[in-house]
A and B are shown apart, each in its own frame.
Chain A
Amino acid sequence: MTVPVPADSSSTDKQIRVLQLYPRDMNIYGDYGNALVLMRRIQWYGYTPVMLSYNPGDEFPADPDILIGGGGQDSGQDRIQQDLLGIGDRLRALAEQDTPMLMICGLYQLFGHFFETRDGSRISGIGVLDVETYGTDNRLIGNLVAESSDFGQIIGYENHSGQTYLGPTVTPLAKVVVGEGNNQRDPHEGARYRNVLGSYLHGALLPKNPAIADFLISNAVQQKFAQELPALDAPQSAPASLQELTEHAREAAAARPR
């Protein structure tokens, strides 16, 4: 699987650097799609995408413009947890500088204060997001539709047994219409602090929710170049346009049973 590299990638003037956190261990089930969608759309907005990866023990790349991370199995989370604590200060500083980030599922949990397992032991997170997560015997699985004041309708697929509760300094990403979201008690899905988004949604999330992809990209472009995003110049690859394909995919997913 190759990440698209445009012909003029040697030019650094319009680079947007996307950093994937722990792609080796935290990549379960399609979260790579988020990276691919960002790379393509950055290119279609006329910028030069650069894909960076950070795995345990690596040197932390300088000046990332967007950070993304995915979900993992329990064994993957065990492997990255100590390393994550080691780069926590750096990630907290980036968050305070309004760097856009999207953390899905397992890394959403570890961007919070802690994950408490069913036997009561606590796995520390880095506390970028004011959330805490409790392991349960109940796996929340299925299609999910939620309404977000920032991003409109959000559509995805949840699959998690940890249940997450939000503290006062984060806002919910969206209100659940179909599905469970963060937990079985309140109707919220995901969390937001400054430009850091956490969510349980796979799908992958960004292909069917380009509003979130464009939020990440436009913030990066605004901060780095003080520019507004131009219109998206996506090549027509099918009888329907990319935007129409996206709309149809959203309609089909929203109409599916839980």
Chain B
Amino acid sequence: MIRLRPPRPATIALGKAARALTRLRGGSGSAFPGLVVERLDPGFLADVLAQLPRGVVVVTGTNGKTTTTKMVVELLRGQGLRVFTNRSGSNFTRGVVASMLGEIGPTGKLNADIAVLELDEAHAVHFVRAVNPQFSLLLNVMRDQLDRFGEIDTTARLLRTIAEHTTEGVVLNREDSRVAAIADSLGTQQVRYFGLAPELRSHFPSDDDLHGAGAAAEGVQPEADVLLTGLGTQQGTFRMGTEEITSDLTVNGAYNIYNAAAALALVRLVLGEATDRDALLGSLRRASPAFGRGESLTVGGQPLDLILVKNPSGFRLGLTSFSADGVATMIAINDNYADGRDMSWLWDVGFDSLVQQGVAMVSGVRTYDMALRLSYDGVSIAAHEPDLGKALDDFLSAHPDVPKRIFCTYTAMLALRKRLGTYTEVEAFN
């Protein structure tokens, strides 16, 4: 469906005007300018992306999209490529269009060699029907927002469609049985895997393990192009091809380090023989997590970690990746659309690791759902306050001398970051 003609200058001008108007009114939203452009020129996205010499890369999956996309972008930029990417949090087609309006020239030329786009599973399906990506990276399928997608198997089918519309190569998570199975329906595309050494798999329980469904059948697994073989504190060991490399990392937490393996596999597939190994390792060391995915701030001389939680597997990984010892913990749960409306998922997370320390503060729209969840796991709660701003103030002033950690859902994190901006410098988001 790619039309080989540049987009109309009038469309671009109007889209840019809509974007300026949205910003002028104080909005950071990307939906409105994207909508204007889509209405005026439905082929806009395909037209602009078709001009990129190295094409389009799509990153999707339930967990880790944002950080992995950010790492892929940093690794490719380290190789000297000009990379267009969408801002985090706008991982739908209109968000891509809106990001584009900020970077496009009046004649519709994007100043980039390659586009790396983070797309939500459902939106990615729409996207790949309009624009066939050259490469895609499929991270995982976890229970997340079943209120939107219905079931995990439905989500897995979305990912399969994305892979089938990819023209050159697909990178799959070997350890996720639903993702790995997608290889069966691929014909001409190259297929590469990232994976875990067997002894590390217990760090990454899948949803199927949760109630005793057991690990995926132990058949013969395909060879992984990038295998994570060792995990340390801000350190990972990766086997790439025949070479094993231990690297210090800026990202923290087991799940972010496994995302680094995914990013490496994708970049190696995109660049092939031309990869500059030393530059790649340098970029790997420096790549930082996306905001809220293990983001560290300093407040009152003490570290404060913000950890985004949005589904059971992510919350479980967050709890097991960071020790609760000597840390004041706050949990903030909202139930807006972007958070997931259904609170059921909290019951698929075990909070035993917090029993010893207790939780200092529970907040958010669903404060009391969370408080009930903790109570039924025998975790004590020092304070509960639904108002996020007040809860944050109380939490910070009650625990001035210890490191702090906040587990929060997406919209709770946006509100908390805003409030944190009155205490410390918080990197602007979008």
Residues of chain B from 300 to 331 with CB closer than 8 A to chain A in the complex: none
Tell me whether A122 is interfacial, beta carbon within 8 Å. Answer: no
Tell me whether A125 is interfacial, beta carbon within 8 Å. Answer: no
Q: B362 contacts which chain A residues (CB < 8 A)? A: 238
Q: Across the interface, do B211 and A237 meet the contact criterion of CB distance under 8 Å?
A: no
Of A27, A141, A159, the residue contacting B211 (CB under 8 A) is A27
Given contacts A237-B378, A239-B381, A249-B368, contact A24 B212 (CB under 8 A): yes
Tell me whether B350 is interfacial, beta carbon within 8 Å. Answer: yes
Residue of B nearest to A244 (CB): B368
Tell me whether A149 is interfacial, beta carbon within 8 Å. Answer: no
Residue of B nearest to A242 (CB): B375
Q: Mark A49-92, 1 if CB is under 8 A from B, else 0.
A: 00001010000000000000000011100000000000000000
Residue of B nearest to A2 (CB): B352
Complex Cα spacing A139 to B145, Å: 14
Q: B386 contacts which chain A residues (CB < 8 A)? A: 252
CB distance from B217 to the nearest CB of A (A): 14
Q: Across the interface, do B146 and A28 meet the contact criterion of CB distance under 8 Å?
A: yes
CB distance from A232 to the nearest CB of B (A): 12
Q: How large is the interface on A (under 10, 10 to 19, 20 to 34, 35 or more residues)?
A: 35 or more
Q: A157 contacts which chain B residues (CB < 8 A)? A: 147, 341-344
Complex Cα spacing A143 to B150, Å: 15
Q: Mark A240-257, 1 if CB is under 8 A from B, else 0.
A: 101001101100110010
CB distance from B5 to the nearest CB of A (A): 38
Given contacts A143-B341, A157-B343, contact A237 B375 (CB under 8 A): yes
Q: Across the interface, do B374 and A252 meet the contact criterion of CB distance under 8 Å?
A: no
Q: B341 contacts which chain A residues (CB < 8 A)? A: 141-143, 157, 256
Q: Mark B150-186, 1 if CB is under 8 A from A, else 0.
A: 1111000000000000000000000000000000000
Complex Cα spacing A239 to B386, Å: 13
Tell me whether A226 is interfacial, beta carbon within 8 Å. Answer: no
Tell me whether A208 is interfacial, beta carbon within 8 Å. Answer: yes
Residues of chain B from 48 to 84 with CB closer than 8 A to chain A in the complex: none
Given contacts A237-B380, A238-B381, contact A245 B344 (CB under 8 A): no
Of A161, A204, A248, the residue contacting B344 (CB under 8 A) is A204
Tell me whether A4 is interfacial, beta carbon within 8 Å. Answer: yes
Of B348, B352, B366, B369, the residue contacting A32 (CB under 8 A) is B348
A-B pairs under 8 A by CB, number: 137
Q: B382 contacts which chain A residues (CB < 8 A)? A: 239
Q: A33 contacts which chain B residues (CB < 8 A)? A: 344, 346-347, 373, 376
CB distance from B311 to the nearest CB of A (A): 10
Q: Across the interface, do A248 and B367 meet the contact criterion of CB distance under 8 Å?
A: yes
Complex Cα spacing A254 to B345, Å: 18
Tell me whether B372 is interfacial, beta carbon within 8 Å. Answer: yes
Tell me whether A95 is interfacial, beta carbon within 8 Å. Answer: no
Complex Cα spacing A170 to B342, Å: 28
Given contacts A1-B350, A159-B147, contact A252 B368 (CB under 8 A): yes
Residues of chain B from 371 to 406 with CB closer than 8 A to chain A in the complex: 371-384, 386
Given contacts A30-B344, A157-B343, contact A249 B372 (CB under 8 A): yes
Tell me whether A37 is interfacial, beta carbon within 8 Å. Answer: yes
Q: Across the interface, do B335 and A256 meet the contact criterion of CB distance under 8 Å?
A: yes
Given contacts A74-B151, A157-B341, A204-B347, contact A238 B380 (CB under 8 A): yes
Tell me whether B274 is interfacial, beta carbon within 8 Å. Answer: no
Tell me whether B420 is interfacial, beta carbon within 8 Å. Answer: no
Given contacts A28-B146, A53-B212, contact A240 B384 (CB under 8 A): yes
Of B335, B348, B365, B376, the residue contacting A207 (CB under 8 A) is B376
Tell me whether B210 is interfacial, beta carbon within 8 Å. Answer: yes
Given contacts A24-B213, A29-B345, A32-B347, contact A37 B376 (CB under 8 A): yes
Complex Cα spacing A31 to B382, Å: 27
Q: Across the interface, do B375 and A73 meet the contact criterion of CB distance under 8 Å?
A: no
Residue of B nearest to A55 (CB): B212
Q: Mark A140-184, 1 if CB is under 8 A from B, else 0.
A: 011100000000000001010100000000000000000000000
Q: Across the interface, do B371 and A207 meet the contact criterion of CB distance under 8 Å?
A: no
Q: Across the interface, do B384 and A73 meet the contact criterion of CB distance under 8 Å?
A: no
Tell me whether B19 is interfacial, beta carbon within 8 Å. Answer: no
Of B143, B212, B365, B376, the residue contacting A29 (CB under 8 A) is B143
Tell me whether A194 is interfacial, beta carbon within 8 Å. Answer: no
Complex Cα spacing A253 to B346, Å: 14
Q: B343 contacts which chain A residues (CB < 8 A)? A: 30, 157, 203, 253
Q: A1 contacts which chain B residues (CB < 8 A)? A: 210, 348-350, 352
Q: Mark B134-148, 1 if CB is under 8 A from A, else 0.
A: 000000000100110
Tell me whether A17 is interfacial, beta carbon within 8 Å. Answer: no
Q: Across the interface, do A237 and B381 meet the contact criterion of CB distance under 8 Å?
A: yes
Of B151, B212, B369, B383, the residue contacting A239 (CB under 8 A) is B383
Complex Cα spacing A33 to B147, Å: 18
Q: Mark B197-227, 1 if CB is under 8 A from A, else 0.
A: 0000000000000111110000000000000
Of B345, B366, B379, B380, the residue contacting A30 (CB under 8 A) is B345
Residue of B nearest to A258 (CB): B341
User: Which B residues form the contact surface with A (CB < 8 A)?
Assistant: 143, 146-147, 150-153, 210-214, 335, 341-350, 352, 362, 365-369, 371-384, 386
Known contacts A202-B342, A207-B376, A256-B335; 8 additional CB pairs below 8 A are: A30-B344, A33-B346, A33-B347, A73-B151, A159-B146, A240-B371, A242-B375, A249-B369
- The 22 sampled A-B contact pairs (Cβ below 8 Å) are A1-B210, A24-B211, A29-B146, A33-B376, A36-B347, A53-B212, A75-B153, A142-B341, A157-B147, A157-B341, A157-B343, A203-B343, A207-B373, A207-B376, A238-B375, A238-B380, A238-B384, A239-B381, A242-B375, A248-B368, A248-B371, A253-B369
Closest 5 pairs (CB-CB, A-B): A30-B344, A33-B347, A249-B368, A1-B350, A30-B347
